[in-house]
Amino acid sequence: MRKLIVLDRDGVINEDSDAFVKNAEEWIEYPTSIKAIARLTRAGYTVAVATNQSGIARGHFGHRELEAMHTKMIQLVKAAGGDIAHIAYCPHGPDDGCDCRKPEPGLLHQIQDALQIPDFDGAWMLGDSLRDLVAGQKAGCRAALVMTGKGQKTLADGEGLKDVLVVANLADFTNRLLDGELNHEPSEGEPGKSQRSCNGCEAAAESYL
């Protein structure tokens, strides 16, 4: 089991904007998400970010502005006692045919290379859009949909969510993960089995942490 959480950025860690988040001033964190990343770090989880930033290809901002946003994000996370191990971003547009723009799994593979891990066994990908979840699942992550950002719209659309865990936000996910609620991976033979009533769950939670 890999103690690795991959996060989409906009709508998960910070407020999303239909007009693009273009500079550090416009990058507004969800304070509960910053605290959640710190809790995950302290619990021994590696946290990475995989983010589509087509605003670069579209000319809304440049690499320097993006770097300033990420400096702000990392400073906030570090001040809270957490860490982000790697940020992978796609600067391309939808028509560039790249292999990194989610729902393609290229950003996940970049994270895999940067962290030198063989696979995403037991890792989670959290996002507010279907393409985040698809990218994560293609790479072998379990997927969770947050209700922040575009999450409610993604849930209402309802497509592709069969194997997706729905959580309120990153803090809710973190609570459930650290409570041991998410350790049990339901196998094919036991669909929908309550994780709380699973006999092996307590032991699994201990070995997981």
Q: Would you tell me which residues interact with Mg ion (CB under 5 A)?
A: 8, 10-11, 128
CB of 21 within 8 A of CB of 14?
yes
51: β partners: 89
134 binds, among Mg ion, Zn ion, none (CB under 5 to 8 A by kind): none
- In the complex, least distance from residue 94 CB atom to Zn ion, rounded to whole angstroms: 10
**C-alpha–C-alpha distance, residues 116 and 172, integer Å:** 29
**C-alpha–C-alpha distance, residues 172 and 180, integer Å:** 13
Residue choice 35, 39, 92, 142 for contact with Zn ion (CB under 5 A)? 92
- In the complex, least distance from residue 59 CB atom to Zn ion, rounded to whole angstroms: 16
Number of H helices and number of E strands within the chain? 7, 6
Q: Judge if the upstream peptide bond of residue 91 is cis by omega within 30 degrees of 0.
A: no
How would DSSP label each residue in 91-112?
A: ---TTS--S-STTSSHHHHHHH
- Tell whether residue 98 is a contact of Zn ion (CB under 5 A): yes
Question: 164 or 178, CB closer to Mg ion?
Answer: 164
8 binds, among Mg ion, Zn ion, none (CB under 5 to 8 A by kind): Mg ion
101 binds, among Zn ion, Mg ion, none (CB under 5 to 8 A by kind): Zn ion
- Tell whether residue 100 is a contact of Zn ion (CB under 5 A): yes
Question: Looking up tokens 């996370």, which residue turns up?
Answer: 77
Residue 157: active-site member = no
Question: 100 or 134, CB closer to Zn ion?
Answer: 100
How far is CA 115 from each of CA 2, 112, 168, 180, rounded to the nearest angstrom?
A: 12, 5, 28, 25
Residue 8: active-site member = yes
- Tell whether residue 101 is a contact of Zn ion (CB under 5 A): yes
- In the complex, least distance from residue 21 CB atom to Mg ion, rounded to whole angstroms: 10
- In the complex, least distance from residue 105 CB atom to Zn ion, rounded to whole angstroms: 11
Structure token digits, residue 55: 């605003």
Non-local CB neighbours of 199 within 8 Å, separated by 6+ positions: none
Binding residues for Zn ion, per CB under 5 A? 90, 92, 98, 100-101
Active site residues: 8, 10
